[in-house]
Amino acid sequence: GENVEQHPSTLSVQEGDSAVIKCTYSDSASNYFPWYKQELGKGPQLIIDIRSNVGEKKDQRIAVTLNKTAKHFSLHITETQPEDSAVYFCAASPQFGNQFYFGTGTSLTVIP
Amino acid sequence: DSGVTQTPKHLITATGQRVTLRCSPRSGDLSVYWYQQSLDQGLQFLIHYYNGEERAKGNILERFSAQQFPDLHSELNLSSLELGDSALYFCASSVEGSVGNTIYFGEGSWLTVV
């Protein structure tokens, strides 16, 4: 099955700096890669996603890049704010089955 | 608010007991997924139902079972509970069960087994 690895497990940045979280996947058939943000005591919320026919996608301060050849994808958050502090999960969805495989999460702390 | 409703939010029970967690998907969503999240592990996929039928099974223990009813709500039954079953259980839903459908998570049910 698919194996998704996520790094780093913890990340601290100063407010206003950028944060980058990286994930790798093993199944070359995976073609959908969402990112979720989980705040304390809440369920994961979708923040951005990318499909395998696209190399980059942006939504305001958040962007995701995908390198299918290397089988890795990254989340970029620019101009970080304290409310960006949360746990972020990447996921990969193989071509069949619609089963999502999640990374182990990155705890992001934005220091005011 | 994702539109996915889970009850109860918190549950404390003793080892050996049985509990049922309930999930109402977003209006119009036919697929329901169950995930387990414990402190030392990430989000572990348990099971996926689509329009009442089981679609995929993940790391679900034999002591656990689930079903999706005609009104599309789903229940996850956990029996012979052990301390290690203490975790946050999430339900998620999506419109269909096919590839690339965005899934939306509920707020989760905190289960503590004592």
The DSSP string of B31-94 is EEEEEEE-TTS-EEEEEEEETTEEEEE-S--TTEEEEE-TTS-EEEEE-S--GGG-EEEEEEEE
pLDDT in tens, B23-52: 999 999 999 999 999 877 788 989 999 999
Query: Are residues B104 and A99, on separate chains, in Cβ contact within 8 Å?
Result: no
What are the chain B neighbours of A34 within 8 Å (beta carbons)? Answer: 102-103
pLDDT in tens, B66-77: 999 999 999 999
Residue B98 has pLDDT above 70, yes or no: no
Please state, as a whole number, how many other Cβ atoms lie within 10 Å of the Cβ of residue A60.
9
Please state, as a whole number, how many other Cβ atoms lie within 10 Å of the Cβ of residue A7.
13
- Which of A34, A43, A95 comes nearest B102 by C-beta? A34
pLDDT in tens, A75-97: 999 999 999 999 999 999 875 55
Note the pLDDT of residue A99: 74
What are the chain B neighbours of A41 within 8 Å (beta carbons)? Answer: 107
Task: Give the pLDDT mean for B77-91.
Answer: 96
Note the pLDDT of residue A11: 98
| pLDDT-flagged residues of chain A (< 50) | none
Greater confidence, B100 or B5?
A: B5
Minimum Cα–Cα distance from B103: chain A residue? A46
- Which of B43, B48, B102 comes nearest A46 by C-beta? B102
Q: What value does the mean pLDDT of chain B take?
A: 92
Whether B49 has its CB under 8 Å from any CB of chain A: the answer is no
Q: What percent of chain B has pLDDT over 90?
A: 77
Note the pLDDT of residue B2: 86
